[in-house]
Every structure is written in C-alpha cells, then in structure tokens.
C-alpha cells in the first residue's frame, strides 16, 4: 500500500484529533479534519477543512474527500443522520449505530449488562423494577461529562424531576479504574493495562492517573475482562475506553466511550503502541500493535487557570527532568479548567512517578493574558 494515497478524515479538530493525526502522519497517511473553528489543535498537523461536523451537508461533502472517517468527539448530535446516510455510515468507525447507543448512558448500561457485564443496579427514573435505598445516584442519560449530570440523592425531595435521567445504586468505590480496548475490523482485539484514576473531589476532575493501577492481580484480570466484554457488546471495530469501579462486590462497569480517551493518553510514551496509532491501524486495516506497558507512569492534565490567550509557565523547570514528557494542544484560548495539554511522567515505579508528578504539577501553570 501507499499511505499517501489513503486519506483519513477526522470529525472534529480537538486534541484527540491532533494526537491521532500525529500517529497517522508517522505511518505516512494523509489526514483531513472537519471543524468549525478556523485553527483547532489538529490544524497544526492535518489538512484542515472548515465546516461543522454537526451539519449533515458539511459531513457529506467531507466524506467524499476521504477513504475512512474516525471521531474526535462522539457527541456529534447528528448520529441519526450518519446512520441514515449509507455512504457516510460505511466510512465511519465506530459505526453510527454504536454512537447512537453509547450516546445514552442508560442504553449503554442496558447493553453491557445484557452481555453479562456486572454494573451497579440501575433503572429508569421513576424506577420501574428496582427498589433503591438512599443515597441513590441520579444521572443524565445524555450530555453529562466530568461529573456534570451526576447527582447523589439523599432524600425523596432531592430528585430532579426529569425523564432524561436514570437511577443507579450508590456503590462504595475502592478505586476508579479504566482500560482501553482496541478491536479491529476482523474482530481481533487487544486490551491495554488497567489504569487507576485519582480524582480531585472538590473540583470533581481527574487529579492524576497511575499505571499500572495499584490493585491485586486478580482484580486487574477481572477489570480487563469487564473492559473487553463491555467493548465487545457493541459489535463494532474501534477504540473503546471503559471506566470501571472496584467495589466490595468486585469490578463493575461504569461507562464507555467509543474513541481514544484521556485515560489512554499515557500510551503514547508508556506502551509499545499508543491508542492513537491503534485507531489509525484499525481505520486503514493494518494489524493491531502490542499494548504492553514499557514503563510505570503517571499522567496529569494541564488545566487552564486563567482566561484569554494562553501563557505557559514553569516549562523550563520541568523539561530537564528525566521521563517528563509534555503535550501542549495548541488551543488559541484558555479558560478555567479547560484541558490545555497533559504531561506523562515515566519512572522505575509508580511511587517515584507520583512524587515527580506532584512537583511538575506545582510548577507548570496555564494562565491567560
Ligand atoms: P461523568 O461521565 O460525568 O464523569 P460518571 O458516571 O463517571 O459521570 O460519574 C462521576 C463520578 O461520580 C464517578 O467518577 C464516581 O466517583 C461517582 N459515581 C458515579 N456513579 C456512582 C455510583 N453508582 N455509586 C457511587 N459513586 C458514583
């Protein structure tokens, strides 16, 4: 094959598109991105087409320009259009039907639990079958992310009277885990190491991510099984990021995303094959690579702390530390908590990597000016 004759289209031009495009470029492929903003992160490394991935006309035109299409963002809001346009649907990984199912957290849970994957008990709101004690968790079916759209309910009068929500048993979480699963067009798969996510409870955001997760071997094996079985429930090729809870009852499925994910950014430096290279290989029909971990590591997100044109502080102080690798997405504006980049820290063990990560975090800031 000649990769230069193969054009990969990415719907959206954010950081996931940028990192995917870098992997595609490494293998020699042409990359096009479709995004409404004039200079999104991926435009630094891909041919950028200005247009809206939520506008069926723009997507149809874009699909004529590439051999295959993948996703930067799954909430494109026109999944039913993608599903109804055979020409578009044929080119898209994952399939639009899968996007439609995963978009709704209640439906995704139903699908994985029908495939015998353990989940917290869940039901419609108001409940039809289950009886829940307080506290109970009420969640938005669509559109929630980073903890928005999740509410812990302690009494009857705290319920949000909204049919677009569902209920879930409150479980005692020991650790929050995640794993990336890659499935190719023939159904071959690889499962990435299990990562441990440590949250900042005040801000409700990921504080740092540790690989490998500090869990017993049998829990790790169980988590890999849950991740694989969840991803396989949807019957589509693609990259699937599966978030899980480790509780007294074992490992439970929490949610799934049908694309490369923040919890897999560490794979760029710490695994033989990154999640981004893997989606490229799946898209063009090349064999999957090994997901094996090369080194323990920690990943931290670089979140905006100011507003305006971004200004990065402290890079000089951390770039000379062995094992520290910085990614700056190149967004033209910063605002508080916006994901502006991430840093991966490799070390001989996770404890040393966590120490280094804390230092790095205290030095590197993204301000606005
Ligand atoms: P989001 O996609 O918005 O981050 P999640 O479903 O991951 O939503 O929930 C956000 C956080 O809320 C989780 O990381 C977890 O800490 C907590 N949480 C979610 N579901 C439950 C549950 N059933 N029991 C206890 N805590 C939960």
H-helix or E-strand containing 226? helix 217-232
Instruction: Sketch out the chain's domains with CATH numbers.
Output: 3-92 (3.40.50.20), 121-169 (no CATH), 173-368 (3.30.470.20)
Q: Please determine, for residue 79, whether its predicted confidence score (pLDDT) is greater than 80.
A: no
- Say if ligand 1 is within 6 A of residue 119 CB: no
* Residues comprising the chain, all counted: 369
Determine whether the shortest distance from the Cβ of 147 to ligand 1 is under 6 A. yes
Instruction: Output the pLDDT for position 145.
Output: 73
Q: How far is the CA of 23 from the centre of ligand 1 (A)?
A: 31
- Ligand 1: nearest atom to the Cα of 245: 15
Sorted by sequence, the CB contacts under 8 Å of residue 157 that are 6+ apart come out as none
∠ CA 109-115-117, nearest 5°, is: 65
More confident residue, 19 or 84: 19
Q: Which atom of ligand 1 is nearest to the CA of 170?
A: 24
Nearest one of 118, 223, 228 to 183, comparing CA atoms = 228
Cβ–Cβ under 8 Å, residues 323 and 353: yes
In the chain, % of residues over pLDDT 90: 87
Question: In the structure, what pLDDT confidence band is assigned to residue 73 with cuts at 50, 70 and 90?
Answer: confident
Which of 150, 153, 207, 242 maximizes ligand 1 atoms within 8 Å of its Cβ, making it the mutation to test the pocket? Answer: 150
Q: What is the pLDDT of residue 285?
A: 96
The tens digit of pLDDT for each residue in 82-113 reads 778 888 889 999 998 999 899 999 999 999 99
User: What is the distance between the alpha carbons of residues 359 and 345, in angstroms, rounded to a whole number?
Assistant: 11
Does the pLDDT value for residue 205 go beyond 90?
no
For the cut 80, the answer to whether the pLDDT of residue 204 exceeds it is no
Question: If you count DSSP H runs as helices and E runs as strands, how many of each does the chain have, helices first?
Answer: 11, 19
Q: 39-43, 144-148, 150-154, 198-202: which has the minimum mean pLDDT?
A: 144-148
**pLDDT for position 85:** 83
CA 191 – ligand 1 centroid, Å: 23
Residue 214 pLDDT? 98
Give residue 162's pLDDT: 85
> Is 311 close to ligand 1, i.e. is its CB under 6 Å away?
no
How many CB atoms are closer than 10 A to CB 368?
Answer: 16
Q: How many CA atoms lie within 13 A of 328 on its CB side?
A: 15
Q: What is the pLDDT of residues 152-177, one digit of tens each?
A: 999 999 998 888 999 999 999 999 99
- Alpha-carbon distance 168 to 59, whole Å? 36
End-to-end CA distance of the chain: 47
pLDDT of residue 80: 77
């Amino acid at each position: 094959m000649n990769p230069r004759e193969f054009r990969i289209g990415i719907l959206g031009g954010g950081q996931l598109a940028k990192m995917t495009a870098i992997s595609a470029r490494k293998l020699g492929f042409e990359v096009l991105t479709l995004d409404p903003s004039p200079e999104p992160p991926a435009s630094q490394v891909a041919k950028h087409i200005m247009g809206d991935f939520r506008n069926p006309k723009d997507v149809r035109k874009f699909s004529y320009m590439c051999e295959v299409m993948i996703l930067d963002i799954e909430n494109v809001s026109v999944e039913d259009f993608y599903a109804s346009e055979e020409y578009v649907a044929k080119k898209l990984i994952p399939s639009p039907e899968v996007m439609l199912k995963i978009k709704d957290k209640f439906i995704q849970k139903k699908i994985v639990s029908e495939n015998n994957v353990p989940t917290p008990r869940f039901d419609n709101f108001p409940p039809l079958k289950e009886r829940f004690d307080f506290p109970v968790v009420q969640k938005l079916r669509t559109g929630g992310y980073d903890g928005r759209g999740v509410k812990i309910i302690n009494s009857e009068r705290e319920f949000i009277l909204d049919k677009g929500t569902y209920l879930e048993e409150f479980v005692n979480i020991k650790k929050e885990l995640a794993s990336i699963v890659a499935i190719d067009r023939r159904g071959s798969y690889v499962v990435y190491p299990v990562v441990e996510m440590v949250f900042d409870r005040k801000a409700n955001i990921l504080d740092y991510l540790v690989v490998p997760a500090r869990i017993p071997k049998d829990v790790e094996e169980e988590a890999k099984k849950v991740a694989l079985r969840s991803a396989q429930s949807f019957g589509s090729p693609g990259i699937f990021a599966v978030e899980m809870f480790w509780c007294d009852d074992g490992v439970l499925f929490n949610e799934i995303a049908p694309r490369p994910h923040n919890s897999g950014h560490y794979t760029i430096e710490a695994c033989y094959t990154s999640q981004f290279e893997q989606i490229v290989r799946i898209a063009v029909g090349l064999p999957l690579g090994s997901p094996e971990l090369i080194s323990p590591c920690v990943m931290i997100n670089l979140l905006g702390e100011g507003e305006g044109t971004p200004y990065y502080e402290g890079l000089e102080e951390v770039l000379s530390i062995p094992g520290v690798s910085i990614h700056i997405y190149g967004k033209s504006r910063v605002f508080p908590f916006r994901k502006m980049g991430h840093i991966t820290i490799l070390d001989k063990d996770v404890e040393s990597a966590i120490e280094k990560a804390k230092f790095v975090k205290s030095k590197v800031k993204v301000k606005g000016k």
